[in-house]
Amino acid sequence: MQPVAISVDTPEQSRDLAHKAGYTFPLLSDRGALVIRRYGVLHPKAGVAGADIARPAEFLVDRSGVVRWRNLTGDFRVRARPDEILAAARALP
């Protein structure tokens, strides 16, 4: 199971985060929030200086590119736990 993180941060900001936190999975930069908008998870004007950012959300995509599980939290302090994601991943073919 490959985790991939997406935010409006620049590649430089993401690189700092990856180094600081020791992340080895891809962190992708969606500067204009185009992919974020495409996935319907835009949080308009919620960023610094009223920038459009992503709301926290997780999607599990199978090998054929179909969404098999998703989580849209109602509270951004509370995200999907690793065990929830792994349980959904185990159900994949």
- Give me the residues that bind another protein (CB under 8 A), please: 1-9, 11, 13-15, 17-18, 26-30, 34-36, 38-44, 46-48, 53-70, 72-78, 81, 85, 89, 92
C-alpha 21/C-alpha 61 separation (Å) is 25
Q: How far is the CA of 57 from the CAs of 13, 20, 76, 93, in angstroms?
A: 20, 22, 9, 23
Q: Are 52 and 8 in contact (CB under 8 A)?
A: yes
Least distance between another protein and beta carbon 51 (Å): 9
Smallest distance, another protein to C-beta of residue 86, A: 9
The minimum distance between CB 50 and another protein, in angstroms, equals 13
Q: What residue type is 11 in one-letter code?
A: P
